[in-house]
Chain A
Amino acid sequence: MSAHLIALRQALRRLGRKPVATLLSALVIAIALTLPALGYVLVDNVAGLANGISGKPEISVFLKNEVPPDRVKAIETSLRIDPAIAALRFVPRDVALKQLAARGGFADVTGALVDNPLPDAFVIEPRNDTPASFEALRKQIATFPEVAETQLDSEWVERLHAIVVLARSITLLLASLLGAALLIVTFNTIRLQLLTQRQEISVKLLLGATRNYVRRPFLYFGLLQGLLGGVLAWILVAALLQVIAPQIEALAQRYSIALNIGGPAPWQGAVLCAFAALLGWLGAGISVRRHLHDGLVID
């Protein structure tokens, strides 16, 4: 335990001895982490949009005109007991007309109409949301003789889903690439340190230091440097969000999408820092494993 404290103190001292170099390395790490972290936060927000707004995809079922009310009732009953249907909403033709009139721009048109041209309709929410089961349900409902038309409302949700999935993969790809960059940065920092401390390391080994004793300060150094980079990245992400979130929200507003981009949650920041610290530790570990024996030359 106290050996770990000594190593931690040594690592801190090394970080503190060259504050500018420390800050620069941490910034390189932070910048590498910022892009995927920012991507993650944005994708997360848009994914919430895709799940939240339209909820489940729906099927609109338009009946033929002049279907007598008792037939409508009968169809509704048979749909309600269908296990493939999770929820059902009946939209009478006059309600549909009112909704249409309420929508901007249509008031004059509807007012000019003598007859209501709209049919009665059902809006169905399927229980199962795979596209295939969806299509099956739509076909089945279309077989009612009173049904004029069925329409899937899921398309844009599916597109949004596809975009989110793509954006997720891209973010993940970026994260792995830039994570590798972080690993390499740490690997190299530690390699240079091992080189400059060759003499000190060989003296310590000569005096009976274990490999762990020699290795530990470097591991802590990598860990702390990564952690520092993670903290800086978190600050960068929060700051960048402050700048671009209003712009993205304004853009979404133009498409009548009420998007409210939230900043990174504390746990997400913690995950980011932990991830950076872990990569720093790993990079240092690999570097020490690779280079320490070279520093062992004792004569």
Chain B
Amino acid sequence: MIEFDHVSKHYPGGNEALTNLSLEIRHGELLVLAGHSGAGKSTLLKLIAALEAPTAGRVLVNGLDVGRMRRSQVPYLRRSLGLVMQEHRLLMDRTVFDNVMLPLTISSQPPSDAAKRVRVALERVGLAEFENAMPITLSGGEQQRVAIARAIVNRPSILIADEPTAHLDPAYAREIAALFRSFHAAGVTLILATHDDTLYSPYGARRVELAHGKLLS
């Protein structure tokens, strides 16, 4: 479970991204974050992964106050989450396989077991035959799918995606959305920031809208 308890976030320089926000996200939930540009969606997601720290209030992930956890503990929090950012953030000088392998290398998984899991993840996003390709040779949608494979290869129970389909044309976007819905169906807690909530709302998503750092509904 993820809980925002009266959370505010000021960025240095005076930008107030979130104001006194409280929100609970339950296990296995599919939460869609909507809101105008600059509403604070990315900030909210970053707080969960301790990529930013709240200026006030608490962010609890499975009972852990991630804003105040020791810095040495942060990597272990991130390993328990799957993160897909707006930019896919792949390493362009590694193959698709090596990119997906990265989280397993980082958490020192035994290589033979890891290779199997990489193939399962690539299979899951429909890129099994691309494992030796370089990301640069793939389309935008395929690159985003590599990023998704990388996010799920550690089998996280929480998946966070920040506008994963923003740069994609509608056909690709639908494809990726279907992929995310299938993870949700498999029991993963899924938190998505998106401008296009029609991709998820018909499928039992809970929609939350942010405006100027506050919850609308």
Contacts and interface: CB of A to CB of B under 8 A. Distances in A.
Interface of A: 2-3, 6, 199-200, 202-211, 213, 298-299
Contact of B75 (A202, A203, A210, A298): A210
Contacts of A6: 105
A195 to B, nearest CB: 16
Nearest to B83: A206
A113 B199 CA distance: 125
A3 B108 contact: yes
B58 interface: no
Contact of A207 (B42, B46, B78, B108): B78
B178 interface: no
Contacts, number: 46
Nearest to B99: A203
Interface string B81-118: 00101000111000000000011011110000000000
A298 B102 CA distance: 17
A75 B107 CA distance: 86
Contacts of A211: 72
A206 B105 contact: no
B79 interface: yes
Given A206-B89, A208-B106, A210-B75, 14 more contacts: A199-B91, A202-B89, A203-B102, A204-B102, A204-B106, A205-B78, A206-B49, A206-B85, A207-B83, A207-B103, A207-B150, A211-B72, A213-B75, A298-B46
Nearest to B91: A200
21 contacts: A2-B108, A6-B105, A199-B89, A199-B91, A203-B91, A203-B102, A204-B102, A204-B106, A206-B49, A206-B51, A206-B78, A206-B83, A206-B89, A207-B83, A207-B103, A208-B77, A208-B78, A208-B106, A208-B107, A213-B75, A298-B51
Contacts of B76: 208
A218 to B, nearest CB: 16
Contacts of A204: 102, 106
A209 B89 contact: no
A208 B103 contact: yes
Interface in B47-71: 49, 51
Contacts of A3: 108
Nearest to A6: B105
By size class, the interface of chain B is: 20 to 34
Interface of B: 42, 46, 49, 51, 72, 75-79, 83, 85, 89-91, 102-103, 105-108, 150
A269 B91 CA distance: 41
A3 B75 CA distance: 15
Given A2-B108, A3-B108, A298-B51, A207 B72 contact: no
A209 B103 CA distance: 8
B76 to A, nearest CB: 7
Contacts of B46: 298
Contacts of A202: 89
Given A200-B91, A203-B91, A208 B108 contact: no
Contacts of B90: 203
B80 to A, nearest CB: 8
A210 B72 contact: yes
A205 B83 CA distance: 12
Nearest to A207: B103
Nearest to B86: A299
A5 to B, nearest CB: 11
B5 to A, nearest CB: 24
The 7 tightest CB contacts between A and B, nearest first, are: A208-B79, A208-B78, A208-B75, A210-B75, A209-B106, A207-B103, A203-B89
B177 to A, nearest CB: 23
B161 to A, nearest CB: 13
Nearest to B42: A299
